[in-house]
Chains A and B, each alone.
Chain A
Amino acid sequence: MTTTTTLPTEERVVRREALYFAVRNTKLMIGFGIVLFLLLVGIFGPILANVEDPNEYVAAAMLPPSSEHWFGTTTFGQDVFTQFVYGLRTTFVAGALGGGIAAVIAMVIGFVAGYRGGWVDEILNMLTNVVLVIPTLAVLLIINAYLGIRSVGVQALFIGLTSWPWAARSIRAQTFSLRNREFVDLARLSGMTTRKIITREIAPNMSSYLFMTFILLFGGSILIASSLDFIGLGPTEGVSLGLMLQNSTQWSALQLGLWWWFVPPGAGITAVVGALYVANVGLDEVFNPKLRET
């Protein structure tokens, strides 16, 4: 690595500059603030609630929100707030795992297709297009219906396996534009292996882009997981925000007017995903000087 002698200081400057614009970007701060707050609720809520099973019957049925039961109780006397904090945790796990798996697949396929080109690109591109066209949720429905026992992990795995195509496509396009730049040519001349060129030269130069792609995949996974839960193909044990929505509609919370049962889970999902999207716009402005408002 003879080319990188001046890089460390330069990199530090770029990073400091990014940080400078990051803390001054309201969209980014508000978005990440909301996500961080809900993440902390999801992590510490269940610890503080300290119950064995969030689906336990703890109080009288159909109580409206009060100081004792912050979000009221269900038709069975389950505490909605306890379910909410546990559900939030499940939702984050589903998003991180599903989004993470999708991001890894998208990066491998996008980098290899974009860097190698030729027939490798043709084949990977064809694969991407085929998976892109197949309606994801319909495939997940079939798979999950045949799975007898379902867990959050398996659900997230299959979401990851089906939701990578658009990301792979855009990473491929980005790689394509970096492939013939001078520093990549130089690395190739110095005899670096393809894997090293991709991980050391190409990936770091689009790291901000990769991070933003992951955020979008994260949000998308949460929405898909909640749809699956709502249809009745959620995890067979435990609780998630989607399962709460499913239970509330199945047990006629609408007709009984138990708004505190179905408003929090949907609001939770919307807040997490919406905040992620807004933070993403903020990140775009931080990393892309053209979009900065001066």
Chain B
Amino acid sequence: MGRPHVRRYFGRKLLIYGLTFVVAVTVNWMIPRFMPGDPVASMLARARVSQPAAVEAMRTYYTNLFGFDQPIWQQYLNFWGALFQGDFGISIWVFPTPVADVILAAVPYTLALMIPSVLLSYWVGNRFGAFAARRKLLDNTVLPVGYILTATPYMWLAVILAWGLGVVAGWFPVAGGYSFSLQPSWSWEFFLDLLHHWILPFLSLFLVALGGWAIGMRNMIIYELESDYSNYLSALGAPSRLIRRYAYRNAILPQITGLALQLGVLVAGALVTEIVFSYPGLGSLILKAIQNQDFFLLQGTFMFIVIGVLVANFLIDIVYVLIDPRTRTGMAGAQA
């Protein structure tokens, strides 16, 4: 029962994600070509080669890489072709490693930071917010702290934590994904070292995101507690614990949509936090790409981030359908 609705819901979502992907790829293709300035010239300037013959050879090489000598529609099709072969070009920063390899080596670090911090801050924040709503004393502390945390720039909290707990207290290392004295291996020693380096960036991401979820949930719960069904339940003499449980179930739905909306901000937060801690994920990669004018690496990272965000959005959509019974039976509920 209600299957066609679910199919329509997902069909619409997939259409949006497909369109988004096409737009992202097109933007990625257009920017180097239509921005003022010549990317080939700036890359050549960076290489600082003095022999004219060498400069000419490099110019031909880069022009071929971009495919500037072909008609514009051909360039566009080639771009898509290369993308589907997983070819993102060659990195200039770590020449001649393919960009895809450089990125794939960094992705696990970013995911290891993001997935636990996002899920945990979401869960704890929602619990906190729901618990604080309509409880005077807690509310008066959770609300201001929450607002300060959401207003904090990710990198600043990271800097403060690195300075306080890292440099001054000396409890945690403030740079890198693992100690330079260690080689990556499947040993306990290496794992503990990884964990030791992971804690501060994780904590920083966790804390900044926490505030927003707590505030959002608190406001939703208050709204739900004022609704007719809550009043009716309390008029019937239902225990307030029960009413709060119903309110929580209703309030969690907009919070799931909120999670999807926040994905971009969360990714941005992870990137700058990684830069503060020189954590070897995508953020540090982006910094290196910018410092070295490595446009292929930068654009490859952009594609990876877009794909990651689209996949995460789709997963959230699935969770939404699983949690909200209305989308299953085709009554109101989630809209694309």
Contact = CB atoms under 8 A, between A and B. Distances in A.
A35 to B, nearest CB: 12
B176 interface: no
B156 A245 contact: yes
Interface stretch (B32-40, B59-67, B177-185): B32-40
Given A148-B36, A245-B156, A266-B152, A133 B298 contact: no
Contacts of A290: 226
A147 interface: yes
B261 A142 contact: no
Interface residues of B, number: 60
A146 B267 contact: no
B286 interface: yes
B153 A227 contact: yes
Given A232-B290, A249-B159, A254 B272 contact: no
Interface residues of A, number: 53
Interface stretch (B98-106, B115-123, B143-151, B244-252): B143-151
B264 A136 contact: yes
A115 interface: no
Secondary structure class of chain A's binding surface, majority of residues: helix
A234 B226 CA distance: 46
A89 to B, nearest CB: 18
A125 to B, nearest CB: 8
Contact of A135 (B160, B267, B272): B267
Contact of B261 (A148, A166, A245): A166
Contacts of A232: 287, 290-291
B17 interface: yes
Nearest to B150: A277
Interface stretch (A57-65, A80-88, A102-110, A268-276): A268-276
Given A141-B298, A227-B154, A133 B17 contact: yes
A266 B39 CA distance: 34
Contacts of A146: 31-32, 35, 37, 39, 295
Secondary structure class of chain B's binding surface, majority of residues: helix
A219 B148 CA distance: 13
A43 interface: no
Interface in A130-151: 130, 132-139, 141-143, 145-148
B261 A135 contact: no
A233 interface: yes
Nearest to A220: B265
A287 interface: no
Contact of A126 (B16, B275, B295, B305): B16
Nearest to A275: B151
A266 B208 CA distance: 13
B298 A142 contact: yes
A29 interface: no
Contacts of B267: 135, 137-138
Contacts of A226: 153, 155
A218 interface: no
A266 B309 contact: no
Interface string A257-271: 101001101110111
B295 A270 contact: no
A231 interface: yes
Interface stretch (B2-10, B20-28, B73-81, B82-90): B20-28
Contacts of B148: 270, 274
26 contacts: A129-B16, A133-B16, A133-B310, A133-B313, A134-B24, A135-B263, A135-B267, A138-B306, A139-B302, A142-B28, A142-B298, A146-B39, A223-B153, A226-B155, A227-B153, A230-B272, A232-B290, A242-B153, A248-B159, A249-B276, A255-B174, A266-B153, A266-B156, A267-B156, A269-B151, A270-B152
